[in-house]
């Protein structure tokens, strides 16, 4: 038997994905690389290309097809980018191969009424659900981000997004919630992620006098450059970003001095040093094994690997169909983030989220966000999908 992962290993997401792959390997080590005496192989596939420095649709499609053709493959862990899953989901769905994402947060991949009209149906040509994820979605994260901003005393906000699926989606949710709770949105712009600088935009934001700049985007879509240009234009507003920037590479790209004391990062989970129970054990084992703090998403790589291996154990026969069935039936799973399961859409029932700040060039945990009272109605007409 074999499991594969498809993550962007080339490019600036490398630090995050290395951490995720380490997490998957730790899950495999826990079962000593075998279940019921059958050895489980693992292949770490790359869905990025050097030309793009980022995930590449052609490579992701190739990975999915390769996994489907290899009959020993019984599980596909991936992807990191929501856009990439749009490519591989229908391919794996047709083959009935289970897919577990440790990183995708775009709601439309699983939740009806949250994306385009035909989502998520178009990703499930067979009509059955084969895609699951272990991270809470953006409709939850964008919402708690807006609420956190209000708590911080923000009255006016200027919103930017990178015009990609993830970034635009989460900024849309932020905007909607901000308006509901009385934060005035002074402007909303889609940026060009490849521009050499955003100084002109920063001048405009400064003139608007906003208390907060929210950027729906990632390190790869130039969050670091935006932070630099806001500072060089003397914009004194707070700067808030979602979990796509929750990685050391963001601080390196932006320069610590441009972030310290004014930057707020939301994350759909808890940072490793705030974990308790099984999560804390994971962190200890990770540091012992790899000699470094796990990046934010390492835990989700581990969790995705574990939930898959647990399902393989429970499956009656070790076929793709039975394993898929067993994953779907995951309930009350003893996970690193407490007890959770998969709901009828394939989403995790875990709702733990957190807010971070940047101090002295390092992320610092600020508080737990969200919780039951801010859980949105399931039928909320949410995100307008990106291009």
What is the DSSP-derived secondary structure letter of residue 249?
Answer: H
Among 25, 143, 176, 228, which residue sits at the site for other proteins (rule: CB under 8 A)? Answer: 228
Is 360 among the residues that bind other proteins (CB under 8 A)?
Answer: no
Among 3, 4, 5, 10, which residue sits at the site for other proteins (rule: CB under 8 A)? Answer: 10
Is 185 among the residues that bind other proteins (CB under 8 A)?
Answer: no
* Pair 312, 327: CB distance under 8 Å: no
Please report which helix (H) or strand (E) contains residue 15, including its range: helix 14-30
Among 25, 231, 262, 306, which residue sits at the site for other proteins (rule: CB under 8 A)? Answer: 231
Question: Least distance in Å: CB of 200 to other proteins?
Answer: 4
List helix spans (H) across 110-222: 138-151, 165-180, 199-208
Distances (CA, A) of 72 to 130, 327, 351: 17, 18, 34
Helices first, then strands: H and E counts in the chain = 11, 18
* Pair 346, 361: CB distance under 8 Å: no
* Pair 73, 97: CB distance under 8 Å: yes
Among 11, 120, 279, 385, which residue sits at the site for other proteins (rule: CB under 8 A)? Answer: 11
Q: Which residue is associated with the tokens 């070790």?
A: 318
Among 113, 255, 341, 361, which residue sits at the site for other proteins (rule: CB under 8 A)? Answer: 255
Among 14, 65, 260, 274, which residue sits at the site for other proteins (rule: CB under 8 A)? Answer: 14
Among 127, 153, 194, 377, which residue sits at the site for other proteins (rule: CB under 8 A)? Answer: 194
The site for other proteins, by CB under 8 A, has a size of: 40
Is 368 among the residues that bind other proteins (CB under 8 A)?
Answer: no
Distant-in-sequence, close-in-space partners of 307: CB < 8 Å, separation ≥ 6: 100, 132, 134, 327, 330, 333, 335
- At 274 the three-state DSSP class reads helix
Q: Residue 14 or 62: which CB sits closer to other proteins?
A: 14
Q: Residue 219 or 348: which CB sits closer to other proteins?
A: 219
Q: Residue 196 or 317: which CB sits closer to other proteins?
A: 196
Within 13 A of 39's CA, how many CA atoms are on the CB side? 2
Binding site residues, other proteins, CB under 8 A: 10-12, 14-15, 50, 53-54, 160, 163, 189-192, 194-201, 203-204, 207-208, 219, 222, 224-225, 228, 231-234, 249, 252-255
């Amino acid at each position: 038997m074999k499991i594969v992962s498809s993550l962007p290993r080339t490019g600036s997401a490398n630090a995050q994905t290395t951490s995720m792959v380490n997490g998957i390997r730790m899950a495999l080590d826990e079962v000593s690389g075998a279940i019921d005496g059958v050895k489980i192989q693992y292949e770490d596939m790359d869905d990025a290309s050097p030309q793009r420095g980022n995930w590449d649709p052609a490579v992701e499609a190739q990975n999915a097809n390769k996994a489907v053709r290899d009959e020993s493959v019984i599980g596909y862990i991936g992807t990191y980018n929501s856009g990439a899953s749009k490519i591989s989901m229908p391919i794996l769905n047709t083959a009935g191969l289970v897919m577990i994402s440790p990183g995708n947060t775009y709601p439309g991949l699983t939740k009806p009424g949250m994306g385009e009209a035909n989502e998520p149906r178009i990703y499930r040509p067979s009509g059955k659900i084969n895609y699951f994820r272990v991270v809470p979605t953006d409709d939850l994260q964008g919402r708690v981000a807006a609420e956190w901003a209000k708590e911080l005393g923000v009255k006016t906000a200027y919103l930017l997004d990178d015009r990609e699926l993830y970034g635009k989606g989460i900024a849309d949710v932020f905007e909607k919630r901000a308006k509901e709770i009385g934060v005035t949105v002074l402007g909303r712009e889609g940026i060009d992620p490849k521009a050499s600088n955003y100084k002109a935009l920063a001048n405009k934001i400064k003139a608007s006098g906003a208390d907060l700049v929210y950027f729906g985007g990632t390190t790869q879509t130039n969050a670091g450059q935006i932070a630099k240009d806001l500072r060089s234009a003397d914009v004194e507003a707070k700067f808030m970003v979602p979990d796509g920037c929750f990685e050391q590479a963001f601080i390196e790209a932006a320069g610590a001095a441009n972030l310290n004391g004014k930057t707020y990062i939301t994350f759909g989970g808890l940072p490793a040093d705030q974990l308790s129970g099984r999560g804390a054990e994971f962190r200890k084992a990770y540091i012992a094994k790899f000699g470094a703090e796990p990046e934010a998403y390492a835990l989700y790589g581990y969790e995705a690997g574990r939930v898959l291996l647990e399902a393989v154990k429970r499956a009656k026969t070790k076929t793709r169909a039975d394993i898929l069935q067993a994953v779907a039936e995951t309930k009350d799973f003893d996970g690193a983030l407490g007890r959770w399961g998969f709901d009828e859409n394939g989403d995790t029932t875990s709702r733990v989220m957190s807010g971070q700040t940047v101090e002295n060039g390092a992320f610092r945990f600020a508080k737990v966000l969200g919780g039951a009272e801010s859980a949105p109605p399931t039928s909320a007409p949410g995100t307008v999908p990106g291009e």
